[in-house]
C-alpha cells in the first residue's frame, strides 16, 4: 500500500524499513498499540490490513467488547462474542492483548448501576463478574484495566454505585479480586486528564497509595491521553507527571491516546502542532524509566469516538479517514527512531502534510549521529522526488533531488523532505 524504501546494503550494517511498533521496541518500549473498533474488523478490509501489520501495532485492545454491558448485560448471563473479536485477533496476529475494563461506572448495565446493594452483595457481584470474565480470558491478557475513571476532573471521587456502597474500599477490593482470577496479567488503574498534573492527578496518586496500603496488588497506571491540539503539556511536564507514579513503584503507559482538533478542517499549522503534541507525549514515555508503551485509541480518523462526543472536533488520530499516514504519524516515528538509534530527539518536529506516505528508515547505532544532508546532483538521469516526498535521511537510498521549484530540506536525521 505504501511506497517502498529500497536500501543500499553498504549504507549501514543494519538498515531496515520500520513501523511504529518496531521502532518503539528498538527504543526500549514494550509495544506500540491501538484500540480495535469491533464492527470494522470484518467490514473494512483496509482497516483490518493495517491493524494486522505487527510492525505497526504490537498490541491491541477492544474498544467496547469487554466492558460490563457487553460481557454481562443481564445478571448471571455472560457473553463473549464481542470481546472475543479482539482476543482472537491478537492471538491470530501474535499481538499483545490489553483487556479493558472491569470496575467502571460507565457502560454499566442498569441492573448493576440501579440495584439496591449491601457491601457483601455488591462485592459478590464484582467477584462473580471478574471470575467469569477474567476466567474466560485468563492467559490471554497482558494487562487488565481493573478500575477505570474513579475520579471527577476536579479531583473529587466519582459518584458511582461502587463508591456509594463502598467508599474508596472498592478500589483495593477490585484489585484483590482481579489478582485472584488472573495472577499473571498486569493490573492497572486507568483514567483521563491525569496528564495535566492537577487535582485529579493528585487523587490518582492517592488511589495508588490506598490500594497499596490495603495490601492489594497494582502494577500500573494508565494515562488515557485524550488531549487537545495546542493544549497538550510539554514533553518535560508530561515526564514529570509520569514520574510521580513510577516513584510509587508502579509502571505507567499511555493507553488511549488521541489528540483532537477543536475545530475542523484543521489548518496546516494546526496539523504541525498536532504532530508536535504527539511527539511530546511519546517522547515523555521514552524519557521515563517505567513507562512501558503507547496505545492510540483507534489509529484512523475513520473510526474515532471523538466526533460523536465532542461536537465539531475531530481528526484526532495518526491516519486520516482514507488510511493515509498523517503528520502525527511522522512525528511519532521520528521521535521513536531517534531513541532507537541513540541520537538526541527533538520534542518539536517539523512534519509533512496528511497526504505524505513513506517508510521510516532506522540505521544501526553506529550511524546514529550522522545527519544525512540532501546532496543534489547534476546528473540528468537521476529521478526527482515530488513535493512533500522523502529526499534524504539516515540510510535513505532513494531520490535526493526535488522537482523544481522545491528543495530538499533536512527535518531530522532520519527524514529530509521536498518543500
Residues annotated as catalytic (active site), given as ranges: 149, 256
Other CB atoms within a 10 A radius of the CB of residue 266 amount to 20
Other CB atoms within a 10 A radius of the CB of residue 25 amount to 18
Q: CA angle, 211 as apex, 205 and 215 as ends, to 5°?
A: 140
Give the DSSP letter of residue 169.
Answer: G
Other CB atoms within a 10 A radius of the CB of residue 54 amount to 15
List the grid coordinates of 225: 491521553
Decide: helix, strand or coil at residue 242.
helix
User: Interhelix angle for 268-287 vs 327-341, to 10°?
Assistant: 30
Closest by CA position to 123, among listed 161, 151, 156:
161
- CB distance 376 to 409 below 8 Å: no
Other CB atoms within a 10 A radius of the CB of residue 1 amount to 9
Decide: helix, strand or coil at residue 40.
helix
Query: At which residue does the C-alpha cell 521510516 appear?
Result: 360
Decide: helix, strand or coil at residue 290.
coil
CA dihedral 96, 82, 135, 167 (to 10 degrees): 100
CB contact burial 350-368 (16+ within 10 A = b; e otherwise): bbbebebbbbbbbbbeebb
**DSSP secondary structure string, 80-110?**
-HHHHHHHHHHHHHT-EEEEEEEEESSS--H
List the grid coordinates of 252: 505507567
Decide: helix, strand or coil at residue 191.
strand
List the grid coordinates of 373: 544532508
Decide: helix, strand or coil at residue 214.
coil
CA distances from 186 to 44, 84, 143, 278 (A): 32, 19, 5, 26
Interatomic CA distance for residues 419 and 416, integer angstroms:
9
CA distances from 37 to 219, 241, 300 (A): 26, 30, 10
Amino acid at each position: 500500500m505504501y511506497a517502498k524504501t529500497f536500501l543500499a546494503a553498504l549504507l549501514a550494517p543494519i538498515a531496515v524499513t520500520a513501523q511504529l511498533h518496531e521502532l518503539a521496541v528498538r527504543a526500549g518500549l514494550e509495544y506500540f498499540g491501538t484500540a480495535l473498533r469491533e464492527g470494522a474488523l470484518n467490514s473494512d478490509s483496509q482497516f483490518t490490513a493495517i491493524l494486522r501489520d505487527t510492525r505497526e501495532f504490537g498490541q491491541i485492545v477492544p474498544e467496547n467488547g469487554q466492558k460490563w454491558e457487553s460481557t454481562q448485560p443481564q445478571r448471571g448471563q455472560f457473553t463473549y462474542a464481542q470481546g472475543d473479536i479482539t482476543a482472537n485477533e491478537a492471538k491470530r496476529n501474535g499481538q499483545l492483548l490489553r483487556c479493558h475494563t472491569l470496575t467502571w461506572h460507565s457502560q454499566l448495565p442498569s441492573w448493576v448501576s440501579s440495584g439496591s446493594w449491601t457491601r457483601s452483595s455488591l462485592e459478590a457481584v464484582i467477584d462473580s463478574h471478574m471470575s467469569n470474565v477474567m476466567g474466560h480470558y485468563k492467559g490471554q491478557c497482558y494487562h487488565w484495566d481493573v478500575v477505570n475513571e474513579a475520579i471527577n476532573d476536579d479531583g473529587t471521587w466519582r459518584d458511582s454505585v461502587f463508591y456509594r456502597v463502598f467508599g474508596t474500599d472498592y478500589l483495593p477490593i477490585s484489585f484483590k479480586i482481579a489478582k485472584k482470577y488472573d495472577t499473571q496479567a498486569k493490573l492497572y488503574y486507568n483514567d483521563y486528564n491525569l496528564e495535566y498534573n492537577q487535582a485529579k492527578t493528585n487523587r490518582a496518586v492517592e488511589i495508588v497509595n490506598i490500594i497499596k496500603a490495603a495490601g492489594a496488588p497494582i502494577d500500573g497506571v494508565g494515562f488515557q491521553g485524550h488531549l487537545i491540539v495546542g493544549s497538550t503539556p510539554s514533553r518535560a511536564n508530561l515526564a514529570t507527571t509520569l514520574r510521580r507514579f513510577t516513584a510509587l513503584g508502579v509502571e505507567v503507559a499511555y493507553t488511549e491516546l488521541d489528540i483532537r482538533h477543536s475545530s475542523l478542517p484543521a489548518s496546516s499549522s494546526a496539523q504541525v502542532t498536532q504532530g508536535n503534541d504527539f511527539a511530546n507525549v511519546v517522547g515523555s514515555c521514552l524519557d521515563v524509566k517505567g513507562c512501558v508503551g503507547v496505545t492510540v485509541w483507534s489509529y484512523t480518523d475513520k473510526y474515532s469516538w471523538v466526533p460523536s462526543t465532542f461536537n465539531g472536533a475531530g481528526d484526532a488520530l495518526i491516519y486520516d479517514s482514507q488510511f493515509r499516514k498523517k503528520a502525527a504519524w511522522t512525528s511519532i516515528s521520528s521521535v521513536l527512531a531517534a531513541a532507537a538509534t541513540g541520537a538526541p530527539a527533538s520534542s518539536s518536529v517539523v512534519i509533512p502534510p496528511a497526504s505524505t506516505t513513506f517508510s521510516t528508515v532506522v540505521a544501526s547505532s553506529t550511524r546514529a549521529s550522522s545527519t544525512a544532508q540532501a546532496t543534489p546532483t547534476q546528473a540528468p538521469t537521476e529521478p526527482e522526488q515530488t513535493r512533500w516526498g522523502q529526499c534524504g535521511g539516515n540510510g535513505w537510498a532513494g531520490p535526493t533531488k526535488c522537482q523544481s521549484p522545491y528543495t530538499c530540506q533536512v527535518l531530522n536525521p532520519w527524514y529530509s523532505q521536498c518543500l
